[in-house]
Structure 1
């Protein structure tokens, strides 16, 4: 069905729009002919013919409804010049029609006819019955959808110049300029709005956002900090300040800001959700659960609440609760991720076959390549963690037949190859990734660490890990690799700070094993046993930890 109604199918033999007879001295008949041919052509999908006839009808008719219909059909057919001509006719016939004025203004902006667009927009603002502020807001929304951002901002600038004392006009310009990625112009307009009305909080927020977009995040925070101090009860300013703190990655300060806001608005759904996520970010999981439970109690955003409550339960090792939470995630943003995490938990709990069945059912119905790849990767991880290496290898070989250019699938196969002592395949797959993407830090690190751990090619390993470290200097896994290759090279004092930083940043049994091995080699026997003992208490069956325990003996 298209914009022309629900007419039945045309006869199969009819391949075009047949001419209809009309008299030369019959204007009304000619108009009817143009309309009828335009309608028939539209039903047949011959949009260019339909537009030509409808626009011809609009030019001949005194009825603004015909011009409006011609405008909409031309827009539907993406015939912009024809739409502009029809819209101009529409306004000529119905100069007071504000919807027509807005359509005309938008078309003029798209065509780059700025002066004419300003005139049309001026009529819209002047005739508005909703007030100046709402009128400028509507104009800004209209122009924000333009595919011609230069003309859109210029048109708004021209309109604003006709209202030099209007703070609302400057505010609308600031908002549009920021939307169109012109932060400097947005900041200037926001400042002029504040000069006209110092209590216009929307303008102050835009002023700060413009500063942040120009790279002055400290300045933006200063603007909002001062505004919040002067107006501590103003929720919009507090929200903006909290979001800016998140942008600056000052999560503790952001959390304090949102906690103050929630004390004033205890049932605010968005605040509860934001506080839940912020608490997760700073690893305050009990607080996060409290906020997310309160969010769940409101009956809103239950999918979000259940998903993150599931993540917290999973992190804490509360397997059954995590599964229950993930089952409570319905259709929406987190639905697919929740199903993947359910499968991972089931696999780790020993229910490998059921986890694989779930993932295969999902894959059978998956059409989108990216989603299919994620399913393959999750299934291979379940198999890898269950030590089903042959099955994981077969699965990834199948996946790579479907998506041979996937670096993620190659990387996953390299991990399986390492477990199978197929270092030739691991090296081949990781080198293939690096040939495609020389700055792939994960591949650089994996290749370097494997060479350091499993071969005597230590200089080569050091080179790969150094490149990875340059790309991601704070990554715990890369710090561990750097420490381990230095340990293997006998450079113990250089290795120690890397392994300690890795251990501090992230608990991982392999990192703990590497640090304990280094400490033992340095003669720090008690500390080595402390690190190893703590790791064994958390992962008593981990092969690498057990091998180190057997080697150093106690």
Structure 2
């Protein structure tokens, strides 16, 4: 269901938006403010007989000229002051209208209030004047004063009352007195009991006033008057967090009754995503996109769900499209797009996206840059990005050491990577994750004993760590013949995270080493499907080759090396197996 926007509501919202605009270069022009009320109403026509008879002496003419010239030159504050002064002198509604518009445009709300009071007094039937008056009163928290004007507008435009009630909650500022809003809503809707929109307005007001039970009662009343009405269904589900069976049943019934409703489908998608039903959530989002390819929430939702499902290309496509349609979202979505580009080994593009990150993710994105520059061979930029990282807190010091080690690995200098982490451990011996990281570089450098010692130290500090259990189990399986001990760690890790592709890969590789080829193949197939990484692919290819499926083994290696052409593990397997 598509709600018709109340013209009355649209005018009020335009008024509030204009009032919120600060003065300066971004302030709307006088002509823009003039046109705002006309989005809902035609320009007011004034009865010539009711207009004051102005004696245009030299002083008045000069004041008019000052106001007009100031407006034409963009000096809106001076123009507003001049026109408000004229409105006070003349009491002419036309002058007051112009004064009010210029005052709003210049952000001078006190002047706008004065001008609008003159305007409404001079032309009580002018709806744009009342609309602006209501906007200003609400902006100032003068709810009771706004009530008189709202009732007058309801009487003048009864056909707009219902859509107004559905949207009136958008008029209140975040600091408004919620109880006062509730009481106003109850009074305004008192005469409209047969109207489901009135009960909806009450429900929102009750909810905002922390009275959820009464909000539910009003929603039930609205749905009794109009069964499966979309706004009431969606709000009821929202209040219940979509977790209870009754809400889910109501949403399903509404979807069946109105299968083309994007808002209903989006609500179903959000609930599915919140409950980790990612496949179902993706289907909901894509059904919305099939009807409206540019629906922003569906694009972002489908993109994030695709990331969860490791559908990297699809995720990149959806999120890129959403930024193209809404460039303001770039700062928020940039970290995700950077991650996706990185996963696809599009390192220059990843750097570009990470550089656009804003807010809380900006610092995390900056941490990705040194390694990416090193991958691209841009070593001076890698060093510069590394120096730019903060080291004020303990966590920042840990992060920088880990990132510097990554840079040394990209430069194929494992000894410097190990040395970097050894220096960090000397400063921060209580930080377990440094031992974990150093173990990985020691393993790559061929120091199995050192890697094992670090992982045992890590597990002594964090005995329940799944990552630690997996890493130690994998090293024992890959570098030694202590398979029974490796089994202990990997089975324990698998029991905690049976869908983790990294653990599936480790356990599958152990089973291969143990000669359990069928079990190994099943585990590696599942791991590769969830995470088509080069090392996982290399393990899978080796098992396939051992089982005699050399064609598929070659296919897997070709796939992973097409994406990660420099992966050492996959290259070694291909050379050794002659594929």
Structure-1 residue corresponding to 2:421: 396
Structure-1 residue corresponding to 2:382: 355
User: Is 2:342 the counterpart of 1:317?
Assistant: no
Alpha-carbon offset, residue 451 of structure 1 = 0.6
Distance (whole Å) between structure 2 residues aligned to residue 215 and residue 431 of structure 1: 45
The worse-fitting range, judged by mean Cα deviation, of 473-482 and 136-145 is: 136-145
Q: Within 5 Å, give how 1:228-247 maps onto structure 2.
A: 228-231=255-258, 236-247=263-274
Distance (whole Å) between structure 1 residues aligned to residue 260 and residue 465 of structure 2: 48
User: Is 2:547 the counterpart of 1:522?
Assistant: yes
Distance (whole Å) between structure 2 residues aligned to residue 410 and residue 144 of structure 1: 54
Q: 2:284 aligns with which of 254, 257, 261?
A: 254
With over 3 angstroms needed to count, the CA separation of the structure-2 counterparts of 1:278 and 1:553, relative to structure 1, is: closer
CA deviations 1:117-169 (Å, max 9, x no partner) are xxxxxxx9999666898999999978999xxxxxx9xxx9xx99xx9977344
Alpha-carbon offset, residue 345 of structure 1 = 1.8
With over 3 angstroms needed to count, the CA separation of the structure-2 counterparts of 1:288 and 1:419, relative to structure 1, is: closer
With over 3 angstroms needed to count, the CA separation of the structure-2 counterparts of 1:418 and 1:294, relative to structure 1, is: closer
Distance (whole Å) between structure 2 residues aligned to residue 522 and residue 133 of structure 1: 66
With over 3 angstroms needed to count, the CA separation of the structure-2 counterparts of 1:191 and 1:143, relative to structure 1, is: farther
Q: Within 5 Å, give how 1:427-446 maps onto structure 2.
A: 427-446=452-471
**Alignment gaps of 5+ in structure 1:** 1-97, 103-123, 146-151
Q: Within 5 Å, give how 1:293-332 maps onto structure 2.
A: 293=321, 295-296=323-324, 298-304=326-332, 306-327=334-355, 329=356, 331-332=358-359
Distance (whole Å) between structure 2 residues aligned to residue 553 and residue 461 of structure 1: 29
Alpha-carbon offset, residue 224 of structure 1 = 2.5
CA deviations 1:339-377 (Å, max 9, x no partner) are 3333222111222443133112223xx434444433332
User: Is 2:370 the counterpart of 1:340?
Assistant: no
SS at structure 2 position matched to 1:301: helix
Alpha-carbon offset, residue 415 of structure 1 = 0.9
With over 3 angstroms needed to count, the CA separation of the structure-2 counterparts of 1:533 and 1:202, relative to structure 1, is: closer
CA deviations 1:220-264 (Å, max 9, x no partner) are 44433432454567665454334234334223323224415645x
**Does the 8 Å CA contact 1:430/1:443 hold for their aligned counterparts?**
yes
With over 3 angstroms needed to count, the CA separation of the structure-2 counterparts of 1:547 and 1:239, relative to structure 1, is: closer
TM value normalised by structure 1:
0.61
Q: Within 5 Å, give how 1:489-528 maps onto structure 2.
A: 489-528=514-553
Alpha-carbon offset, residue 213 of structure 1 = 5.4
With over 3 angstroms needed to count, the CA separation of the structure-2 counterparts of 1:530 and 1:203, relative to structure 1, is: closer
TM value normalised by structure 2:
0.59
Distance (whole Å) between structure 2 residues aligned to residue 325 and residue 140 of structure 1: 34
Q: Within 5 Å, give how 1:27-38 maps onto structure 2.
A: none
Alpha-carbon offset, residue 473 of structure 1 = 0.5
Distance (whole Å) between structure 2 residues aligned to residue 298 and residue 526 of structure 1: 46
Distance (whole Å) between structure 2 residues aligned to residue 464 and residue 185 of structure 1: 54
With over 3 angstroms needed to count, the CA separation of the structure-2 counterparts of 1:382 and 1:284, relative to structure 1, is: closer
With over 3 angstroms needed to count, the CA separation of the structure-2 counterparts of 1:375 and 1:315, relative to structure 1, is: same
Q: Within 5 Å, give how 1:49-198 maps onto structure 2.
A: 167=199, 168-174=201-207, 190-191=219-220, 194-195=223-224, 198=227
**Does the 8 Å CA contact 2:203/2:216 hold for their aligned counterparts?**
no
**Does the 8 Å CA contact 1:170/1:189 hold for their aligned counterparts?**
yes
SS at structure 2 position matched to 1:424: helix
Q: How many residues align?
A: 414
Structure-2 residue corresponding to 1:384: 409
SS at structure 2 position matched to 1:417: helix
Distance (whole Å) between structure 2 residues aligned to residue 495 and residue 394 of structure 1: 36
Structure-1 residue corresponding to 2:14: none
**Does the 8 Å CA contact 2:303/2:316 hold for their aligned counterparts?**
yes
**Does the 8 Å CA contact 1:170/1:193 hold for their aligned counterparts?**
no
Alpha-carbon offset, residue 274 of structure 1 = 4.2
**Does the 8 Å CA contact 1:484/1:514 hold for their aligned counterparts?**
yes
SS at structure 1 position matched to 2:515: coil
Structure-2 residue corresponding to 1:207: 236
SS at structure 2 position matched to 1:350: coil
**Does the 8 Å CA contact 1:392/1:416 hold for their aligned counterparts?**
yes
The worse-fitting range, judged by mean Cα deviation, of 468-477 and 431-440 is: 431-440
Distance (whole Å) between structure 1 residues aligned to residue 492 and residue 215 of structure 2: 41
**Does the 8 Å CA contact 2:469/2:492 hold for their aligned counterparts?**
yes
Structure-2 residue corresponding to 1:448: 473
**Does the 8 Å CA contact 2:315/2:340 hold for their aligned counterparts?**
no
Distance (whole Å) between structure 1 residues aligned to residue 261 and residue 528 of structure 2: 43
Structure-2 residue corresponding to 1:420: 445
Q: Within 5 Å, give how 1:466-477 maps onto structure 2.
A: 466-477=491-502
Alpha-carbon offset, residue 501 of structure 1 = 1.6
Distance (whole Å) between structure 1 residues aligned to residue 306 and residue 516 of structure 2: 40
**Does the 8 Å CA contact 1:313/1:322 hold for their aligned counterparts?**
yes
Alpha-carbon offset, residue 481 of structure 1 = 1.1
With over 3 angstroms needed to count, the CA separation of the structure-2 counterparts of 1:514 and 1:310, relative to structure 1, is: closer
The worse-fitting range, judged by mean Cα deviation, of 129-138 and 219-228 is: 129-138
Structure-2 residue corresponding to 1:411: 436
**Does the 8 Å CA contact 2:286/2:298 hold for their aligned counterparts?**
no
User: Is 2:503 the counterpart of 1:478?
Assistant: yes
Distance (whole Å) between structure 1 residues aligned to residue 557 and residue 432 of structure 2: 35
Distance (whole Å) between structure 2 residues aligned to residue 395 and residue 138 of structure 1: 57
**Does the 8 Å CA contact 1:344/1:378 hold for their aligned counterparts?**
yes
The worse-fitting range, judged by mean Cα deviation, of 409-418 and 316-325 is: 316-325
Distance (whole Å) between structure 2 residues aligned to residue 306 and residue 379 of structure 1: 23
Structure-2 residue corresponding to 1:105: none
> Which one has more relative contact order, counting CA pairs under 8 Å at least 6 apart?
2
